[in-house]
Chain A
Amino acid sequence: MKHPFLIFGIDNYIVLRYNCVVLRYIGGRYIGGKRMAESIVLTEAVYYILLSLFEPLHGYGIMQKVETLSQGRVRLAAGTLYGAINTLLDKGWIRALPEESNSRKKEYIILDEGKRAVINEINRLRELLDNGERITGGQGK
């Protein structure tokens, strides 16, 4: 049986998984399915953007921070970052800090909702990691 993750095309950053049924999360609505338990899968880029914004940071700063955190593995392009930031602003996971003067770049900071999302993601990743290491006998290192 095909993994439920593959049944639907994924064209949004965030995919909701309800009891192994993958749904599309579009424009703030859930499409189809009954709501039983909620778990969100973040993309790598979004996860690292949120982590970067535990301190106030501007666009270019986020790109640099993510590259540092991932040791060069995750490179965010400016266009992609712009879309991600707007999505995160819409969801209320981050907010823009008021610009102090015209010359300062616009900075962003994570909100409580965003922090919750990060914690959930860490728990999800821990589950993946634990299962992976157990089944492969710790070959992940």
Chain B
Amino acid sequence: MMLTVRRVFFAWDYDKQIAWLNEMAGKGLNLVKVSFNKYVFEQGTPGEYSYRIEWLKQWPTRPQSVSYIRFLEEAGVEYVTSFKKWAYFRKKTSEGAFDLFSDLDSRINHLQRLITLVICLLPPLLIVLILNLWLWAEHRQIGNAVASGMLAVMLISFTAGLMKLSKERRHLKNERILRE
């Protein structure tokens, strides 16, 4: 039995996404497929699986990612699905604790990749916002005002997300000074 949930998670809420997927798995709903705004779950045994997500360094079809996924599978981690460079993994809870990263360096690197992702999304937003503001100033059309408003909101939320990721990375880097 399948269940489709419409939900969107931003890159900076990846920890919330992980928490949500594990919450669903705890109820017996195991993720099988993902797209931009749809999560497809399959009914199974509650608490059977534990899920983790990673933003890969390269697209899942590239050789580096293929060898990484294969390595994980040899280590007992099941590759569920992927969306863009997001890879979804799971492991049976009976097989023990599941984490993709056990040291600070790996976590810092992963956060850095997410930060780079969000930073890349900002300039186009900013350009389109400025364009809309300019058009609105020129032609006074309500459409441009609405678009500007929406884009400004998006820009603010993206920046807030970026700050959240940066804060976590800074925290981990400070930890790194003391320990691994």
Query: Which A residues contact B (CB, under 8 angstroms)?
Result: 6, 9-13, 43-45, 58-60, 63, 75-83, 85, 105-106
Contacts and interface: CB of A to CB of B under 8 A. Distances in A.
10 pairs of A and B residues whose beta carbons are closest in the complex: A77-B102, A79-B100, A78-B75, A77-B99, A60-B75, A80-B106, A80-B102, A105-B74, A59-B75, A78-B72
B106 A77 contact: yes
Interface in B39-93: 54, 68, 71-72, 74-77
12 contacts: A9-B173, A9-B177, A11-B173, A77-B100, A78-B72, A79-B54, A79-B106, A80-B100, A80-B102, A80-B105, A83-B105, A85-B71
Contacts of B108: 11
Most buried by B among A6, A45, A82: A82
Contacts of A85: 71
Interface residues on B, range: 20 to 34
B180 interface: yes
A81 B68 CA distance: 10
A11 B105 contact: yes
A80 B101 contact: yes
B106 A6 contact: no
Interface in B134-171: none
